[in-house]
């Protein structure tokens, strides 16, 4: 079943790459931004298909985390633009203060990305007055990096 999803996802990736590489698109900052979001969301969809496969592995007790050293700031820079578009569409605000001097962590990129997306999606979904106000910060804390995502939404 996942193969049936992966084929159109691959086709969309190729189309999005061609679209994003077009000089006319690159010369228009707004279209270029949307082309990048298309690519990122296609990657996210592919990741979700992979997650289905991993859930099967969890059910069979065969899941292994792929821990690697990643730059949290770079990861956030791939996630936040698409969130920014969603928030702006609701006339909300996204503030980011990435102050950690050592933003490197050991984590499974796939799972951490999903966690951050879920937190941000919930901040948008459960906001007050349909105008999300989200703040994403990183800071050095006890020889670690602390990631904080806050919002002014309803308590879940």
pLDDT in tens, 61-98: 766 788 999 999 999 999 998 889 889 888 899 999 99
Across the range 10-29, mean pLDDT stands at 89
Mean pLDDT of 139-146: 94
Q: Please give the model's pTM, rounded to 2 decimal places.
A: 0.65
Q: Which two tokens stand for residue 67?
A: 């821990």
Q: Residue 71: what pLDDT? A: 97
User: For residues 110 and 67, what is the distance between their CA atoms, to the nearest angstrom?
Assistant: 10
Task: Determine the Cα–Cα distance for residues 153 and 156; give it in Å rounded to an integer.
Answer: 9
102: phi then psi, degrees, rounded to nearest 5: -120, 85
Only one residue has tokens 């605000």, namely: 93
Q: Is the pLDDT of residue 3 over 70?
A: no
CATH of 65-156, one of 3.40.50.10490, 3.40.50.720, 3.30.565.10, 3.40.50.2300: 3.30.565.10
Both structure tokens of 6: 């992966």
User: How do 133-141 and 93-98 pair as beta strands?
Assistant: parallel
Quickly state the pLDDT bin for 156 (edges 50, 70, 90). Answer: low
Calculate helix-pair angle for 72-89, 29-59, nearest 10 degrees.
110
pLDDT-derived band at 48, boundaries 50, 70, 90: confident
pLDDT of residue 63: 67
CB 105 within 8 A of CB 70: yes
């Amino acid at each position: 079943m996942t193969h049936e999803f992966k084929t159109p996802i691959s086709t969309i990736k190729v189309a999005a790459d061609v679209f994003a590489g077009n000089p006319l698109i690159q010369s228009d900052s707004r279209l270029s931004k949307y082309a990048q979001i298309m690519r990122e969301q296609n990657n996210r969809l592919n990741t979700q298909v992979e997650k289905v496969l991993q859930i099967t592995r969890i059910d069979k007790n065969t899941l292994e985390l792929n821990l690697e050293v990643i730059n949290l700031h770079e990861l956030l820079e791939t996630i936040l633009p698409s969130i920014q578009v969603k928030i702006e569409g609701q006339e909300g605000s996204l503030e980011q203060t990435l102050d950690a001097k050592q933003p490197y962590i050991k984590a499974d990129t796939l799972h951490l990305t999903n966690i951050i997306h879920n937190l941000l999606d919930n901040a948008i979904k459960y906001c007050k007055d349909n105008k999300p106000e989200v703040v994403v910060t990183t800071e050095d804390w006890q020889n670690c990096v602390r990631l904080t995502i806050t919002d002014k939404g309803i308590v879940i």
